[in-house]
Each structure stands twice: as structure tokens, then as C-alpha cells.
Structure 1
Amino acid sequence: MTNVAAPYRRPVWDALAESTELTVLLLENQARFRRGGTNRGREWAEYDAPTYEVAELPTARVSRGESSYYTALRVGFLARYRPDAVLLAGWESPAYWQALIWCKLRGVRTVGFYESTLSTQRHRRGPIAATRRRFFKLLDRVVVPGIAARDAVLAMGVDATRIDVGFNAVDVEGIAERAQAARTVSPRSPDSAGHRFLYVGQLIARKNVRGLIEAFARIASPDDSLTIAGLGDQENALHTDAERLNVAQRIQFTGHIPYSEIAGLFARHNTLTLASTEEVWGLVANEALAAGLHVVISRTAGVAASVADMPGVHIVDTSVESLAGGMQASKDAWNGPISDPPILAMTPRSFATVFEQALRVSDRSISADGTKY
């Protein structure tokens, strides 16, 4: 069960469906998603799943800011699927509690997926934090995508032997292949000497794109450029910032880039910058590393702790000064796309294996490197 069919999650579902009879239950439906005025592209509501079933659960939705909360309109909605195990990809919505209670009453195995980190948890104490702790302690196991999320689950009081640690995965092999193909078809012109920075994501306050633009203005040489790909309510303010800082001619706003075209976008750039003040993970960093790019990542992002030792990674604070320093360091160190980046080992298949082990067994935990502890 999950809110929406995020494009980057589908390779993991494909891999899981190779060895299980998988049904993905979505709390959001296509029609409502398209009416919702979202910053996400249409591909988030257009899915084709020949290897597994996708079903939209009838729900009522209440939205607040970036968050949506769902309540299932049918009692016992899981009964028709007769599940051996249920993977719950959230906890905040009543629908997840409805599913958890149904499973507990019938002895069905439950596994939770938790991505947030201690730095992204908005409630560390009080009734909301207590409710979250209760939810995860009721689960049979919890899968987390990295060590930062593991630490957050441990802080809830969940025993380490019930936590399975994987590595948040995207289609790294496919992205690497498509990026290399794009570079082969359109190699960089010898006279385009400037460094090409890139941001991909929503144009909203917590992404700190305004700080990124100011950092770019501080370190950019005349031939350097910055591409900003995404949608959001800060777009007009970002254009204003670029004009005020006299870098508008070197910044390109592309709007939303379809997920199918993201590898080609990476192939045309050198360094991705993720400057978020709050970021549960930041899968775009996985994608950029798979494409051979350098990445400048704020240490508040969940991905930072898991990729800090990889080549081409520059971990920074969210201040303009620190961002500028990381971007300059990446620019100085750039010597072409990284060959055979370590992120290529973090495949959807390896992540799906962690989920499957959590869904099937109860006597082990899997560390980030695949060892038992």
C-alpha cells in the first residue's frame, strides 16, 4: 500500500514481482491526482504494470501543504486480496491504520517502510510522535532505505533485530546506459568550456533553490551555467532572484522534465546540486551519480550519509557560503563523468530482496551491505 505510483519506485516493484504475486494498492486515484494542481508530472498518475496488479483503493482525501491524508471508504478492503503479507509505505493516513488493524486481527504479516530521518521528523515528542512510535512497534518488521532512516526508527524504540536496512534504489543501470548513449549521440562541443550545474525537483521553499541560485552567482565563471528543472510556487521568485543577481542569462528554467528524459538531461550536465533544508532522501542524487555526475548535497538530506564516501560527492550545509564552497570544489575536481560509479551496485533488485526477506522471514535483519546482524 502506498499513496501514489512514483515512477522511481516501479523498478523495485518490477523486481519484487519476479518472485512474488504482487498487488500494489494506491490510495490516490488518477482522476483526483490530475485535478489536484500538483508539482508532479503526469507520469505519476499514468502507470502500466504488466508484471503485477495495480488497484486504486476508494478513499477520502484531506490535503495540507505538501501532505495528503487518506481514509479508506470500505471496511475490510484487504480481504479480497487474501494477502500473506502487507507492506505499508506510510503511517500518517488513517488508511494505513485501517490496514494494520485488519492484518493484526487476522494474523497477516505486516512490514512498514520508513524513509524519514531524525532531521526531517517534525514531531519528536507529543501525541503525534507517540502515535508514530505505536504504529511502528506494532509492525512485524520495518524496512528503511539507509542508515539515517535506521537511526530514526531506532529512536522510536524499535528493536534493531526488527529493522531491515537497504539502500534506496532507482533504475541505476538503465539511467547509466541512457546517459552514456546520450553522450555518444551528442558529445559536448569543445568550445563549451563552462561548468554546467543542474537542479531537478520541485520549486518550493524547503528545496532551497533560492540559496542555490545565490551560491551559483558567487562562484560562476562567465561560461558556467545552471539549469533548473521543475515546477512549484517559487518559480516567479526564482526568476526575480536570477535577475537581481545578474545571472539570468546563465540560468535556464526548463519546467517539468518527464522521467523518461531525465538521463539525457543528466548527460548534458556536470554537477547536480541538492540544497534542501529538509529532504527525506533525495533520489535524484542516486540518479545523477548513476549518470556519472558529481553531486553537491546538503547534509540534511537522507541520502547524504549513505553516499558520503562515494567519488564525486560533496556534502555541504544549507548556507549560501557552504553551498558555494561545495559547488566550487566540484567544479575544480571535475575531470569528466565518473566511470563505473559505486551507486550502480545499488539496484532495484537488491532493494527488492531486502523487502522480500522482511516480508517472508522473521529471524534476521539485513544491513546496508547485505550482511546479517
Structure 2
Amino acid sequence: MKISWLNNVQAPYREPMFRELARLVDFEASFFFSEEKVRHWKWRADPGYRSSVVPAWRLPVPAKLARRLDNEVGILRPGVASSVVRGADALVTQVWWQPAHLAAMMHCRRRGIPYLLYAESTVDSRSVGGGPADRLRTWVFRNAGAVIVPGPAAAEAAILNGTPAQRVVESVNSVDVDLYGEGVRKLREPGSDRGPHRFAYVGQLIERKNVHSLIRAFATIGGNPTLEIAGDGVDQDYLRQIAVECAVTDRVRFLGFLEEPAVLRLLARNHTLVLPSTEEVYGFTALEAHVAG
């Protein structure tokens, strides 16, 4: 069996899954951007699975819409959709509204190749109501060979979007309990629960994550606490300026994007993780912190 996977960029956290798929089937991942501009991920070849960056154009969108989407919008160049799914028994994709994904899904429909969607959104997190966008979403979900969801709330949304119930495959939200549980506890130093309170944030530095409110709220707390901010994004300079305005630069540290081992150390040395987002599909970081204690 050959499985093709199409996504915008090569996300480091998906690579263990890609390697496992490549061990089991003929697997190939295609990405239509070589770099993620918010988190600065760059494509590079991995010996554990086949991957490539396929030709695509970036579609400019208004700044206000771009902040809501979180992802850049891409359009596959002519003929690319055909090359991505050539010889595949199934295509795996994620973003129903992304033009590059839509081109590949439509090509699959014409060739009789099933496409599989991964969908996390719940009914409560839906940001598109009626109109043409809703009809497009219904078409994508109704015609998917399967929709993989991380829990019952996302399954309900997928069915509401038009997916027949028998095509919804429900998985679970999970983290590596050993890594984020015992792993973090082993890194935690004796007596680390004492001293001034230590707060942490892990995530993108974009408007929806609401880190500006976190910094301003942090500045009002007495007792000389600290705040470590792990992540990268377009709002980084703006957030640094807020820290200056609030006179907390001596107690707020910007760490940039951290790989997983560094995130474990961050959780081990801090007391409280704050997730101040105005909107989240799930909030996986909060679950990791909960497992870490």
C-alpha cells in the first residue's frame, strides 16, 4: 500500500509518526512550503521517510484574516496535485479550506482515490457558519474516505459537517506519559517547589494566543515571580515591548522555539503553566503540563 501525505510544512512533532508509517507502508510526505514563517521550521530530508517540497504559490491574504488562519495560504502549481497522489492508494491531508489541499482532494475524487482528513475542531470551536465556506466544508467532509478525530466532541462536529458516521474514526488525545510524567519528575530538582512562584508559557507568539494579556496580568502580581515564554511568532517584538512598558524585563524571559527536551526542562523548573488563548481547538500543551504535575 502507498500512502501520500500533503501538508503545508514539515512539522517536527509529526516526524515520529511519519517514520512509523514509512516502516509499515510505502509512504511519502509532500510539503508545499519549505519554511514555516511563524515558527521558522525548515524542510530537510529525513532518512526515516521520503519527503519533498512541491511547487506552489503563496496567496497573499489581508493581515486580519492571516492572523485568524495561523497558516499561510498556498496554491499548488499546475500538475502538482497529480504528482503528489500518483500511484497512491490514499491521500492524508488536514486543512479543509486550504486551496492546495482542496486541489489534491478534488484530484483524488476524479481518480477514485480516497482522501483522509484529520480534524480536531469541535462544534464550539467552529469559526465558519453558513454561506459558501460552509458548503465547501460540507463537500470536503461528506466526500472524505475517512475522517480521523481525537475524541467524541470532534466526532460530533465531523458528522455535523457531513461525514457519514461510519467513516469517522475516533482516536484519543494523548501524550507520552512516561516522557512528560516520569521524565519531567526526574528532571525536577529537590526544593524546586520553594522560592518565588515561577510561571511558564509554551506556544506560538501570535494574537490568538493572547500572550500580551498574560504579560500585563503578570506585571500586577506581587512576590517577585518569574515568567518564561517559550515559542516563536510574528508578535515576538511586540511582546518584548510590552514587557519593557510593564517594567518586567528582569523577570520575563523569552526563550524562543524549544525542542522537546528543552520543553521538559522548562516544565520541570516552573510551578504553573498558563494558556491564555482566546480560542483553542484543544490546548495540548495544557495536557502535557497536567501530566508533568
> Which TM-score tier does this pair reach, normalised by the shorter chain?
0.7 to 0.9
Q: Percent identity?
A: 33
- Give the corresponding residue for 1:318: none
1:132-143 to 2 correspondence within 5 Å?
132-143=137-148
- Give the corresponding residue for 1:67: 71
Aligned equivalents of 1:67 and 1:173: distance in 2? Answer: 31
For structure 2, the residue ranges without an aligned partner over 5 or more in a row are 1-5
CA-CA distance at 1:139 after TM superposition: 0.9
Given that residues 8 and 171 in structure 1 are in contact (C-alpha distance below 8 angstroms), is that contact kept between their aligned partners in structure 2?
no
SS, match of residue 274 in structure 1: coil
- Give the corresponding residue for 1:212: 214
1:131-280 to 2 correspondence within 5 Å?
131-169=136-174, 173-176=178-181, 178-183=183-188, 187-189=189-191, 192-218=194-220, 220-242=221-243, 245=246, 247-280=248-281
CA-CA distance at 1:273 after TM superposition: 1.2
* Closer/same/farther in 2, CA of residues 171 and 11 from structure 1, 3 Å limit: farther
CA-CA distance at 1:119 after TM superposition: 3.8
Aligned equivalents of 1:232 and 1:181: distance in 2? Answer: 31
CA-CA distance at 1:167 after TM superposition: 2.6
TM-score (norm 1): 0.66
Given that residues 11 and 171 in structure 1 are in contact (C-alpha distance below 8 angstroms), is that contact kept between their aligned partners in structure 2?
no
For structure 1, the residue ranges without an aligned partner over 5 or more in a row are 294-373
* Closer/same/farther in 2, CA of residues 241 and 18 from structure 1, 3 Å limit: same
Which of 107, 113, 119 is the aligned partner of 2:112? 107
Could you tell me which amino acid in structure 1 is paired with residue 253 of structure 2? Answer: Q
- Give the corresponding residue for 1:86: 91
Given that residues 175 and 263 in structure 1 are in contact (C-alpha distance below 8 angstroms), is that contact kept between their aligned partners in structure 2?
yes
- Give the corresponding residue for 2:42: 45
CA-CA distance at 1:101 after TM superposition: 2.5
Given that residues 87 and 110 in structure 1 are in contact (C-alpha distance below 8 angstroms), is that contact kept between their aligned partners in structure 2?
yes
| Deviation digits for residues 312-345 of structure 1 (CA, Å, limit 9, x no counterpart) | xxxxxxxxxxxxxxxxxxxxxxxxxxxxxxxxxx
SS, match of residue 274 in structure 2: strand
SS, match of residue 18 in structure 1: helix
* Closer/same/farther in 2, CA of residues 147 and 270 from structure 1, 3 Å limit: farther
* Closer/same/farther in 2, CA of residues 79 and 165 from structure 1, 3 Å limit: closer
CA-CA distance at 1:280 after TM superposition: 2.6
* Closer/same/farther in 2, CA of residues 173 and 267 from structure 1, 3 Å limit: same
Could you tell me which amino acid in structure 1 is paired with residue 18 of structure 2? Answer: W
TM-score (norm 2): 0.82
- Give the corresponding residue for 1:124: 129
**Paired positions, count:** 279
Given that residues 136 and 158 in structure 1 are in contact (C-alpha distance below 8 angstroms), is that contact kept between their aligned partners in structure 2?
yes
* Closer/same/farther in 2, CA of residues 191 and 267 from structure 1, 3 Å limit: closer
SS, match of residue 164 in structure 1: strand
- Give the corresponding residue for 2:285: 284
CA-CA distance at 1:216 after TM superposition: 3.2
* Closer/same/farther in 2, CA of residues 151 and 19 from structure 1, 3 Å limit: same
Aligned-residue CA RMSD (Å): 2.7
Aligned equivalents of 1:120 and 1:191: distance in 2? Answer: 36
Given that residues 85 and 91 in structure 2 are in contact (C-alpha distance below 8 angstroms), is that contact kept between their aligned partners in structure 1?
no
Aligned equivalents of 1:190 and 1:52: distance in 2? Answer: 41
* Closer/same/farther in 2, CA of residues 63 and 174 from structure 1, 3 Å limit: farther
SS, match of residue 110 in structure 2: helix
* Closer/same/farther in 2, CA of residues 79 and 14 from structure 1, 3 Å limit: closer
Given that residues 11 and 170 in structure 1 are in contact (C-alpha distance below 8 angstroms), is that contact kept between their aligned partners in structure 2?
no
Q: Which deviates further from its counterpart, 230-239 or 6-15?
A: 230-239
Could you tell me which amino acid in structure 1 is paired with residue 83 of structure 2? Answer: F
Aligned equivalents of 2:27 and 2:266: distance in 1? Answer: 32
Could you tell me which amino acid in structure 1 is paired with residue 269 of structure 2? Answer: R
Given that residues 176 and 263 in structure 1 are in contact (C-alpha distance below 8 angstroms), is that contact kept between their aligned partners in structure 2?
no
- Give the corresponding residue for 2:83: 77
Could you tell me which amino acid in structure 2 is paired with residue 195 of structure 1? Answer: H
* Closer/same/farther in 2, CA of residues 169 and 69 from structure 1, 3 Å limit: farther
1:97 aligns with 2:102: yes
